[in-house]
Structure 1
Amino acid sequence: MTWLDWLIVIVPVALLIWISVYSRKYARGVVDFLAAGRVAGRYIISVGDLAAGLSVISLVANAEQFYQTGFAVSFWGAVTAPLGIFMALTGYCLYRWRETRCLSLGQFLELRYGSRFFRVFCAALRTIAELITNAIGPAIATNFFIYYLGLPHRITVMGINLPCYVIIVTLCLCLALVFIWPSGRISLLITDTFQGLLSYPIFVIIVGYIILNFSWTNDIAPVMLNRVSGQSFLNPYDVSELRDFNIFALVVTLFSSVLNRAGWIGNDTSGAGRTPHEQKMAGVLGAWKNGFASMMILLLAVVVITFMTGPRFMHSDNKFKISSTEIRQELSAKVLDDVVADTAVRAKVMKAIHKIPETFTKQEWDRPLSQQHNLDTPYFNAVRDTLGDTPDARHQFQKYRSLYQQMMMPSVVSKIFPVGMLGLFCLLMVMLLVSTDDSRIFNASSTLTQDVILPMFKGHLDQRKHLLLLRLTSVAVALLFLMVSIFFAQLDYINMFITIMCALWLGGAGPIMVFGLYSRFGNLTGAWCSIILGSGTSLLGLIFQRNWAKSIYPALEQLGMVETLDSFLQTVSAPFNPWIEWSMDPVKFPINSFEIFFISMVLSLGGYIVGSYLTYKPYNLDKLLHRGIYADAPAPPKEHWTFRNVFSKLIGITDEYTRGDKIIAYSVFGYSFVYQIGIVFVAIVIWNTISPWPDEWWTVKFFITSLVIPAIVGLISTVWFMIGGIRDTRRLFIDLEKRIEDPDDNGQVLSHSDS
């Protein structure tokens, strides 16, 4: 990058640090530090959540996944989006959570299930899963910057050879702590909103550059069409042979989105809303907030596919003056430098890689591609064959393949973006890295403090000591992030890894949260059954995945059990072919992360229901939700269902809605259900049932629905949310200044003997 690019990065980051330090004056109590005083408006929550939710790891992971599946599977994924909108419109879980006024998940669990030990156990389990899952965020982001900026894996300082990876991870985590320490949730919310507002124009610039430099008709569509039967990148009726990210993965995502709606709730912005209604409206606005963000993520993935597999870019006589072959060779060399310590072995592998283009015939370049045979396959074969077939060699190959697939996006983008654009994209990645890391460190440290450490105190904890404890715990969590980032290798697709790690908590958490908020029958016995069956299954699956290539498969080989188990797995999975296909593989565990996660959720749901009914005792839900005789003010009269109000009640409109709120709710419903489901999904499904579309028609469909319509929505939402975000930020400062602190409101659940 040039000095101009570095200036584009440094100035906004310095401004963010100043804003974070300035916000310290507003953190006067625990509620301020944990929940921004519960006075945040809908737009600051929504824009802040955009920055906190969008991360470097999500961009890399989506590019990696999209490289395997293209557009086709996402057509069926259209079903999941309106479900999320419906849950947001009705306030499913979020509204009731805000009514509980709990400052953490553990506080809710102790109140709902009456067990302090259960609170501490679940908080520890969630924190461990959250820590390991999120700790790969800095690891992936650090690798991103190493490959994007062309940094070496090792640098020499005063004669000492230091790994560049460790230095960058440490700097990233220190920067995250700078944003957490001053005022916790306040500084995070304000800086995340600022980053979100700054990101909107960058999204527009990146999207515009890609559209101007890659033709849909001449570059993108031909590449997407060049796929074998059963693995189409465009035709959703021709995806039966896709593995891992397929239709079954969408079913699991759909099931999890309902069951685990409240799984991560607690130490995020879900408790920062001014009122339960304002919190609900922030969720409703989530349908519009992404704007150009989703479009940019999609186009980055499309550019990687187009450049790395398109015939126009196989030679360096293109507008970017570099070929896909050169990028593959450079990428392989950089990955091998990190993965293979032996210099002689590395040189031998690279020699085999440099021979690959010479062996390719025109027919091989032109033939349709698949997951099994594509332009990357010769590189994988060369590395695997040269390394050998020992357990250590298999492990090295796993690491090579994972890094190669993950780092393809930054390797391509760094070669095709011009001066200025390189700096803007780097700034965006830095902001997304910081906004994600600081939020995840804060969430984990808050859970540890509120639900593991705080219950150990018998009496009321002083505010100043409590705030210091929260800050010190965030430092400890950052150190844990550092340790995990350094020593915990990620060997699968990023989204697969995140799925199995989250399943350690989400595999058993869904029923205890959803039924805890909505049922009177759920109890502690059912909750324990849910955690033991769901999370236990996920833990077992993780152990097998982590140790498969290096120890478990070699042990099974020695015992002569490979063929027997292969026959068993194929027989069990046969009824679900082609969506689920299990067979023995020396490198990868046969059951993927989505399949393990689904099994965990089904077992946890059954365990919760059976366990609760066997020991049934009704729970006083009104007290938990501050309703009825426990309400601070008389409840508004219930509106009876009539023909005139049935529609508004179905989408969650209540007396709290203003005219503007109703317009937002109806627009979200219209866009999601009428356009996305009714027109873009149901109408097309009916049409194809009667008369199937040719593949060329699908290129037009995705051009309109993935580029044209999102561009129009993005232009409107960019202006809308920038205005709303600025207004709500100003109001947040005013409301924090006026807020009266309650020292007893700190998340502790004290018995009479404790108080």
Structure 2
Amino acid sequence: MHIGLLDWIIIIGVAGLFLGSAVYLKKYTRSVADFLAADRCAGRYLVSVGQGMSLFGVTAMVANFEKFFQAGFGAMWWEFMLAPVGLIVAMSGWVVYRFRATRALTLAQFFEMRYTRRFRIMSGMLGFVSGLLNYGVFPGIVANVLIQLADLPAQTVILGLGVDTRALVMLPLMLVPLLITLYGGMITCIVTNFLQGMFMIAVYVAITLYLLKRFDWAVMMESVSAAPAGASLLDPFDQKAIADFNIWFFLIFTFKAFYNCLGWQNAQGFNAAATSPHEARMASVLSEWRRGFLYIVPLVIPICAYTVLHHAGLTDLGALVQSRLGEIGDPQIRSQMTVPVTLAVILPTGLLGLFIASIIGGSTAADASQLHSWGSIFIQDVVLPLRKKPFTPAEQLRCLRLAAAGVALFAYLWSLFFPMRDHIFMYFLITGTIYLGGSGAVIIGGLYWRRATVQGAWTAMITGAVVALLGVGLQTVWPSVPFLLSLAPRMPLNGAWLAMVAYVASIAGFIVVSLVTSHGKRFDLDRMLGRTGEAGAPETAEKVAEKSSTTARPRDIYTREDRWTIGLKVGWTTVFTAAFVIGTVLGVAGWLRIEWWRGWWGFTVLVSMLAAVATVVWFVIGGRRDLQKLFTHLRTASRDEEDNGTVDAKK
């Protein structure tokens, strides 16, 4: 592996393009609503791709590499369970539509509208802490990937002193997204995320096509077919020896897709940025379409890495990769870096530069969104409700920028010093559950249940947080406590199971306490959702037309493009869901041979790659249209200085 001049030109050019875009976009941010939600003028393609980059950045990619390297194609089979749930959630506008109808700039602002200001402050602080811990490992993971791709030493000598190379690599990794956030908030985030997202998808498609050409499909199938019994990488019904990424992991994720819809706030600005509730719903449908094939990319790449490390005809390449991996002392980091190191060895000049540029771009997009989200949540949902004197717009924007800088500093230090004890996905689950454990019940109950009470909301949030914090604490100290080690070499419950325990306990507490404390009173949901015809709610006509906002029945608001988009997603999901149901029945009965699985995965990869190429073109066209509308609005629209996230108790 060698980074050539062409690679460096690509890397520097792409990084400069994105940073230059952020500098140019600074002039459009003129209000708090601009900074927080792009003045609610983003189209579906900008929201879909931009939000996707927040949720599927480099760290998520590495987590998927780790998952698919261990569980192979079998893990992809259980991912198909998520498709119908995601489709139903997206088409119905589940949570997304009603939240956008409230016109809240953050989720905790909705909590004040629905519950109380004290609950907003508590939930804002809880979400902020959960988000900081969850995001804190991002820079370190990305730095490790770049160090392995560039073959940098673990220590760099500066003025005779050895300095951790991660500390040096993370400095520009944190500085660029911080500048993007400081320059223009959500406006710069949403535009640069879209540009980086389309670039990243195109690069991954190109890498996948190259790998499929370089490594014959028959060779890959031969390698994965040789996996030991109980740990098959082809047959999802022969994976009893795979402890973490088994069917239960994906069942929990399927429930999580419904329960935690809109709950995680690392993309909170995108949740409020759509031009209307309907546009937010269509962005969700597009996101489900994009996810339908996007997982094929992080699936094919680790399968190729597995082939390099296990096929008898590739021993020279495998030995080179093993040699590089042997230089990594920490076993957990070694596991995370297996696929990136393999890519560093096998990618040619030019394509390697594109991959590194996509890593930097993807990291920049995800980090900018995270810095914006967690910094905004701290100011909007903790500081703002506590202040007796309102902010001026200039003061509020200054505080929002300072908070983003503080989040960047925390993530830098946390990545340097926190030891990872589990798979990345498990860490994400358990730290996210500090907030998500109870927030799912509170959000769903607050938007759909008139008898939900403040006491029930407090019970749910506290219960979820306590379960998650106990889990984080036990995972951290388990290897250091002899008594715990005598019980098991690692904590018996992984992040997925701890999350599920928190979900169930929070739901039960929320329902029981709300029923006991409601005393027959019912909250006026119509007034909160703007369905009573008050002035000052631009979407009122649309809301009234869609009284039943949890279904896709009203056809009069759907354009021809909407119907084509929904039809494509429904058709895609129907085909693969039917295949999943039939295959599961036959697999449980033991009627499917390994040859069938080889053919099925070959068909899936081929169809998904064709869809990926077509979607890149489709989304570029749609995104260009959305960008034109966004800039037109930002140039001409007047700003409302009172639209700053404050809840007027008189309304």
User: What is the TM-score normalised by the length of structure 1?
Assistant: 0.82
Seen in structure 2, the aligned counterparts of structure 1 residues 652 and 148 have a Cα distance that, compared at 3 Å, is farther
Aligned length: 643
Equivalent residue, structure 2, for 1:260: 260
Deviations 1:316-337 (A, max 9, x none): 2xxxxx3x2332233122x22x
How many angstroms apart in 2 are the aligned matches of 1:48 and 1:253?
22
How many angstroms apart in 2 are the aligned matches of 1:433 and 1:81?
26
AA of the residue aligned to 2:637: R
Equivalent residue, structure 2, for 1:397: none
Alignment of 1:388-403 (within 5 A): 400-403=330-333
Equivalent residue, structure 2, for 1:29: 31
Task: Say which of 88, 91, 100 aligns to 1:89.
Answer: 91
Seen in structure 2, the aligned counterparts of structure 1 residues 690 and 156 have a Cα distance that, compared at 3 Å, is closer
SS state of the match for residue 411, structure 1? Answer: helix
How many angstroms apart in 1 are the aligned matches of 2:281 and 2:613?
24
- Which stretch shows the higher mean deviation, 656-665 or 428-437? 656-665
Task: Say which of 494, 499, 503 aligns to 1:592.
Answer: 494
Report the CA distance between 1:407 and its aligned residue.
1.0
Equivalent residue, structure 2, for 1:165: 166
Note if contact 2:50-2:194 (Cα within 8 Å) is conserved in structure 1. yes
Task: Say which of 509, 524, 528 aligns to 1:607.
Answer: 509
How many angstroms apart in 2 are the aligned matches of 1:530 and 1:292?
35
How many angstroms apart in 1 are the aligned matches of 2:76 and 2:292?
18
Report the CA distance between 1:677 and its aligned residue.
0.9
SS state of the match for residue 268, structure 2? Answer: coil
Equivalent residue, structure 1, for 2:142: 141
Gap regions ≥5 residues in structure 1: 317-321, 337-399, 563-583, 642-647
Equivalent residue, structure 2, for 1:511: 441
How many angstroms apart in 1 are the aligned matches of 2:291 and 2:242?
28
Note if contact 1:37-1:739 (Cα within 8 Å) is conserved in structure 2. no
The question of 1:454 aligning with 2:454 is answered no
SS state of the match for residue 473, structure 1? Answer: helix
Task: Say which of 315, 321, 332 aligns to 2:326.
Answer: 332
Equivalent residue, structure 1, for 2:238: 238
Report the CA distance between 1:48 and its aligned residue.
2.0
Alignment of 1:334-353 (within 5 A): 335-336=328-329
Equivalent residue, structure 1, for 2:564: 663
SS state of the match for residue 81, structure 2? Answer: helix
Seen in structure 2, the aligned counterparts of structure 1 residues 21 and 105 have a Cα distance that, compared at 3 Å, is same
How many angstroms apart in 2 are the aligned matches of 1:528 and 1:122?
9
How many angstroms apart in 2 are the aligned matches of 1:488 and 1:11?
33
AA of the residue aligned to 1:136: V
Alignment of 1:488-503 (within 5 A): 488-503=418-433
Report the CA distance between 1:471 and its aligned residue.
0.9
Seen in structure 2, the aligned counterparts of structure 1 residues 260 and 663 have a Cα distance that, compared at 3 Å, is same
Task: Say which of 702, 711, 724 aligns to 2:601.
Answer: 702
AA of the residue aligned to 1:585: A
- Which stretch shows the higher mean deviation, 151-160 or 726-735? 151-160
Task: Say which of 587, 592, 596 aligns to 1:693.
Answer: 592
Report the CA distance between 1:454 and its aligned residue.
0.8
How many angstroms apart in 2 are the aligned matches of 1:96 and 1:235?
41
How many angstroms apart in 1 are the aligned matches of 2:71 and 2:29?
46
AA of the residue aligned to 1:595: W
Equivalent residue, structure 2, for 1:676: 576
Note if contact 1:291-1:715 (Cα within 8 Å) is conserved in structure 2. no
- Which stretch shows the higher mean deviation, 436-445 or 250-259? 250-259
Note if contact 1:125-1:505 (Cα within 8 Å) is conserved in structure 2. yes
Deviations 1:272-321 (A, max 9, x none): 1111111111111113335874332111111111111222222x2xxxxx
RMSD: 2.1
Report the CA distance between 1:751 and its aligned residue.
4.4
Report the CA distance between 1:17 and its aligned residue.
1.1
Equivalent residue, structure 2, for 1:16: 18
Report the CA distance between 1:173 and its aligned residue.
0.8
How many angstroms apart in 2 are the aligned matches of 1:500 and 1:690?
35
Note if contact 1:89-1:652 (Cα within 8 Å) is conserved in structure 2. no
Deviations 1:65-89 (A, max 9, x none): 1121111132133111221111111
Note if contact 1:262-1:514 (Cα within 8 Å) is conserved in structure 2. no
Equivalent residue, structure 2, for 1:117: 118
AA of the residue aligned to 1:703: G
AA of the residue aligned to 1:619: F
Seen in structure 2, the aligned counterparts of structure 1 residues 12 and 556 have a Cα distance that, compared at 3 Å, is closer
AA of the residue aligned to 1:100: T
Report the CA distance between 1:253 and its aligned residue.
0.8
Deviations 1:230-278 (A, max 9, x none): 3221112222332111111111111111111131257231111111111
Equivalent residue, structure 2, for 1:577: none
Alignment of 1:175-254 (within 5 A): 175-217=176-218, 219-254=219-254
Equivalent residue, structure 2, for 1:379: none
AA of the residue aligned to 1:697: W
Equivalent residue, structure 2, for 1:278: 279
How many angstroms apart in 1 are the aligned matches of 2:63 and 2:546?
46
Deviations 1:127-148 (A, max 9, x none): 1111111111111000111111
How many angstroms apart in 2 are the aligned matches of 1:689 and 1:428?
40
Seen in structure 2, the aligned counterparts of structure 1 residues 203 and 327 have a Cα distance that, compared at 3 Å, is closer
The question of 1:628 aligning with 2:532 is answered yes
Report the CA distance between 1:651 and its aligned residue.
4.3
Deviations 1:193-236 (A, max 9, x none): 1112323432332122111111111x211121112333221112
The question of 1:747 aligning with 2:645 is answered yes
How many angstroms apart in 1 are the aligned matches of 2:161 and 2:419?
25
User: What is the TM-score normalised by the length of structure 2?
Assistant: 0.95
Note if contact 2:101-2:529 (Cα within 8 Å) is conserved in structure 1. yes
AA of the residue aligned to 2:96: L
Seen in structure 2, the aligned counterparts of structure 1 residues 688 and 550 have a Cα distance that, compared at 3 Å, is closer
Task: Say which of 353, 374, 393 aligns to 1:423.
Answer: 353
Note if contact 1:204-1:292 (Cα within 8 Å) is conserved in structure 2. no
Seen in structure 2, the aligned counterparts of structure 1 residues 544 and 455 have a Cα distance that, compared at 3 Å, is same
Deviations 1:322-370 (A, max 9, x none): 3x2332233122x22xxxxxxxxxxxxxxxxxxxxxxxxxxxxxxxxxx
How many angstroms apart in 1 are the aligned matches of 2:466 and 2:331?
29
AA of the residue aligned to 1:664: T
Seen in structure 2, the aligned counterparts of structure 1 residues 54 and 262 have a Cα distance that, compared at 3 Å, is closer
How many angstroms apart in 1 are the aligned matches of 2:231 and 2:439?
35
Seen in structure 2, the aligned counterparts of structure 1 residues 636 and 408 have a Cα distance that, compared at 3 Å, is closer
AA of the residue aligned to 1:246: N
- Which stretch shows the higher mean deviation, 189-198 or 512-521? 189-198
Seen in structure 2, the aligned counterparts of structure 1 residues 117 and 681 have a Cα distance that, compared at 3 Å, is same
How many angstroms apart in 2 are the aligned matches of 1:556 and 1:216?
46
* Structure number, greater radius of gyration: 1
SS state of the match for residue 493, structure 2? Answer: coil
SS state of the match for residue 124, structure 1? Answer: helix
AA of the residue aligned to 1:665: I
How many angstroms apart in 2 are the aligned matches of 1:649 and 1:127?
29
How many angstroms apart in 2 are the aligned matches of 1:676 and 1:174?
42
SS state of the match for residue 436, structure 1? Answer: helix
